[in-house]
Amino acid sequence: MSLVDFKRRHFIRSSCGYMLAIPFLSSLAPKSLAQAHQKKRFIAVRTLNGQVPEHFYPQRPMQKMGTNIYHKSFRQGQTLSPVLDSGFKDIASKLSLFRGLDHSKGGHNDTIMLTAGVHHYESNSTVLISNTIKDSLDELIARSGSVYQSTPFLRHLKLEPSVNEHNPYRSFSFYKGEKTFYERNMRSLYQFLFYGKNNPALQGQLTKTKKQKAIDLAKDGYQQLLRNRSLSSLDKSKLNQYLDTLNDLENKFASGSSSQGQACREIVNQQLNPSDHDSINDMAIELIALSLMCNMTQVVSYSMHGFGRYPGETNSSFHDISHWEFSSSKRFQNVGYGPERKMDYALASEQKYLRYYKWAAGKVAKLMYKLDQIQDSDGKSILDNSLVMWGNEFAGADHSPYSIPILIGGTLGGRVKPGYWDYTLRPLRYYHGRSDVHMPVGTVPYVNLLTTLANLYGVDRNVYEKNGRYGFGEFDLKQFNHYFYDERRVGNVEIKPRDNYASFIGSETNQRKSVPGWL
């Protein structure tokens, strides 16, 4: 697949097999892009099934910054861990890695990462399960006046690339309690973003004035309907949302930003033929980079597909294998959940286990690296002026929600302090299950990270603080598992939420607190 010319001209294949870029985009990007003011960008990347701690995390940081707060910086060129391997080394100094952020629930729902309130399979449902969380953070950031000063081409680009649109899993974000749509077909998305690129006959069907007039006339229909007294308040709310969207569209027509994709047309080449899970994700990464580079959007949600597929394979499910446990000899065996069970006793699965994690990490690295190669208006890279957040629905094996692994690339223009932030206890203790499989319990609620992000992107707290809850998201300590494995006592011990979260419970200040040290 070759999506864009710049890739063919300027990308080289590295020795580790990733497609890496040399500096290229600043020279190719139109001047109008360079004149744009610095923008806040947020990119959320979600995978499923968590991580294995010993493969994901580097050695623990030793610099004590406060009670249960440890930190160390990453050096440029440093390989961090078996999963966070060489793909990240050139951007290592711009990474923030978190350990010890606890959520209270753990189900297979990739919305959890951005809601901290939905804890269930619910993509078949039409509304959020949580009574208190109605919006995912990405949707609120996309509507923040602090992010967009003018109407963009697209407030929020949402992708869940899939070779087969009929695959059942589908990601959603949520706004006002209703799910919002993710793009699955990357070819269709490309056509939408760069409509008419290779066929001038498709462009300029109506003049700007006519477009505005058409939208204006359409709005009459919405206003007329809103006057209907028999309409429910829910339907009226929806119609008002539509009117906002049409106003956005009208503004775009007026400003010409509806065709901002054309600014990058000279570097877009329509040769699209992604054929497998690997190449379809590569295409997604290209489209994300292009959309950000061309100022078409500043908020992206990228869900890296359902339960996971191995690179180049369409018939494997990483979910099943992720349920394996280690034996005491640290080899994978047992459990036998799902189709890969025949390998349980072959003791040869560790590499396969790692293969998916490394593959997914490689895609994240590729995206971050690409964004680091694009120069923003202030001379920094787009990565520098963004936060690219990679996480999961829970921490890892057996749906453990404790110490959710989060990696964030970029610093949002220097607003955060990168490095390894570790909030777990010293020495490590209290595991969800076993120390070789599960993450240890942390000391900082995961919701504090979402609150931090909401503040960084200027999301009005009145929008997300509901029903006497402070901060973003829901940290329901009633769901907290009381019995944890303690290596020092070689057995399960009871710990109560107050043991770790006394300062959080009932404290408005602490519930609105940012993650320690990061800002």
Partner 1 sequence: MFSLQLKSLLRFLSFVILATVFFAPLSFQNCAGYEANTDGLMGDLDIESNKDLSLQLDRLNNQAAGKKYTCSHESQLGVGQKNMRRHSYQEIKNMIQTLFGESITRQILAELNLLPKDPNIKSKHYPNSLDESFFSRMAVISEKIANIAVRDRAFVSQYGACNELSNQGCYSHFVKNFVARAIKRPLTDSELTIFVNRLSLDRQNEPEVLIASVLMRPDFLHLILNGKAEGKKYKLTPYEVAHRISFATIANLPDEALWQAAANNQLTTLTQIIQHVRRLLLTQAGQKNVVTFFREWMSLEKSGEVSTTEVVNANINPKTLLQESNAEFDQFVRYIVFEKKGYFSDLFLDKTVFPTGNQLARVYGSELWTGGSQLQSRYGHRGIFLRPVSLMGGSNVTQIIDRGVKIRTELLCDSLIFPSLDVIGSRDKDLTPEEVNPQFHSNRTIVSNKTRRLECASCHKWINSLGFLLEHYDSLGRYRSQEKVYDIADRLIATHEIETTSDNLHISDLKGQRVSDVFEFNEYLANSEKVKTCFVTQLSEFTYKRKANSGDSCALSIKEDFASLNDVPVLELLISNIANEEIFYRGK
Residues 158, 46: Cα–Cα separation, whole Å = 11
Token pair of 488 as six digits: 């020092």
| Diameter of the chain measured on Cα atoms | 75
Would you say 394 or 421 has its CB closer to partner 1?
Answer: 394
Residue 207 DSSP code = -
Minimum distance from residue 398 beta carbon to partner 1 (Å): 5
Strands 299-303, 41-46: pairing is parallel
Pick 401 or 419: Cβ nearer partner 1:
401
Q: Identify residue 469 by its one-letter amino acid code.
A: R
277-293 and 350-372 helices, crossing angle to 10° = 20
Alpha carbon 457 to its chain centroid, in Å, reads 15
**3-class state of residue 289 by DSSP:** helix
Decide the pairing of beta strands 101-102 and 444-445.
parallel
- Residue closer to partner 1 (CB basis): 198 or 509: 198
Which strand (E) or helix (H) includes residue 213? helix 208-226
Can you tell me whether residue 258 is helix, strand or coil?
helix
Q: Tell me how far, at minimum, the Cβ of 316 lies from partner 1, in Å.
A: 8
The secondary structure of 379-432, three-state, reads CCECCCCEEEEEECCCCEHHHECCCCCEEEECCCCCCCCCEEEECCCCCCCCEC
Give the residue with the Cβ less far from partner 1, 269 or 333.
333
Q: How far is the CB of 335 from partner 1 (least distance, A)?
A: 6
Closer CB to partner 1, 113 or 365, in the complex? 113
Distance CA 503, CA 499 (A): 10
Question: How far, in Å, are 9, 25, 433 from residue 29 at the CA level?
Answer: 14, 6, 51
109 or 385, CB closer to partner 1? Answer: 109
What is the rounded CA–CA span in Å between residue 249 and residue 255?
10
Output the smallest distance, CB 325 to partner 1, in A.
Answer: 7
Cβ nearer to partner 1, comparing 13 with 342: 342
Closest distance between partner 1 and the C-beta of residue 148, in Å? 12
The least CB distance from residue 57 to partner 1, in Å, is 21
Shortest distance, position 264 Cβ to partner 1, whole Å: 17
Tokens of 490: 């070689």
Cβ-contact 243, 222 below 8 angstroms = yes
- Least distance in angstroms from the C-beta of 401 to partner 1: 7
Query: Which of 153, 430 has the CB closer to partner 1?
Result: 153
Q: CB of residue 257 vs partner 1: minimum separation in angstroms?
A: 11
Closer CB to partner 1, residue 299 or residue 515?
299
